[in-house]
Amino acid sequence: MPNIAELKETALSLRRDIIKMTCAAGSGHPGGSLSIVDILTVLFFREMRINPEMPGAPGRDRFVLSKGHAAPALYAVLAARGYFRRQLLETLRRLGSPLQGHPDMRKLPGVEISTGSLGQGLSVANGMALAARLSGSRSRVYVLLGDGEIQEGQVWEAAMTAAHYRLDNLVAFVDNNGLQIDGPTSQVKGVEPIVDKWQAFGWHVLEVDGHDLEAIAAALDEARDVEGKPVMIVAHTLKGKGVCFMEGQVDWHGSAPSPEQREQALQELEAAKEGQK
């Protein structure tokens, strides 16, 4: 199992890949991809029981990227974990590439479900968790939602379902970066108090700094000990995390960096890597 220093280095590498692939594509969603990198790093390199050489193994843990527009982050971590060649990242959003604008389970190993239409991922994750229970599997299911996404009514129907069936093999994250495509979530449609709402819906709720790898790992450790309830981890994050001119800027929700901005971002991330040594 990698240590925290190794996980931090992996997270920086994933951020570099996100910048490179969105620049090469000339489109994509770098802001919300960068905000979830640390969560994905802990999940795919420390937490989940997965085998890239057998992506369809029945007993595997499953991950659902409900906020499917953050596909660059998922693609970066799948490549780093060995599900496919890293060179494929350069083909993001190109005609014929399996790396589509949103994840497609029919085209890429490691993608458990096609996502992109917001609000549906938790319902799918519920089904996976129920199926695991009925089959006697030890599989755990992890799902990542956006904070703007939880404005969708289906999310709360799914929240009730998970609590009703006491799905303690289900762990959800909310990427609480405070921004969505139209602006601050507080102005578009306020979602606070997030913690109180999920608790009221019968979930065991934890709060973490979504960029603190140790805190994320500790929350996941605690989640394993919870019985009789699904777990929600509210991760407080920064959109565009790791690239100073993207951080906290809604314009980077769905805009790709120019070649000049690419170089600026990569230099900053390289400097951060050197600073960790």
- Distance between CA atoms of residues 220 and 156, nearest Å: 22
pLDDT tens across 179-231, in order? 999 999 999 999 999 999 999 999 999 999 999 999 999 999 999 999 999 99
Could you state, in order of their start, the residue ranges of all structural domains in the chain?
Answer: 4-276
Neighbours of 22 (CB within 10 A): 26
pLDDT of residue 275: 75
pLDDT of residue 1: 82
pLDDT of residue 165: 98
If DSSP codes are grouped into helix, strand and coil, which group holds residue 16?
Answer: helix
pLDDT tens across 42-90, in order? 999 999 999 999 999 999 999 999 999 999 999 999 999 999 999 999 9
Which CATH number is 4-276 given? 3.40.50.970
- Whether 10 has a pLDDT exceeding 90, the answer reads yes
Going by the DSSP 8-state scheme, the letter that residue 113 receives in this structure is S
Percent of residues, the chain, with pLDDT higher than 70:
100
Q: Is the pTM of this model over 0.75?
A: yes
Mean pLDDT score across all residues of the chain: 96
- Distance between CA atoms of residues 74 and 55, nearest Å: 15
- Distance between CA atoms of residues 238 and 133, nearest Å: 35
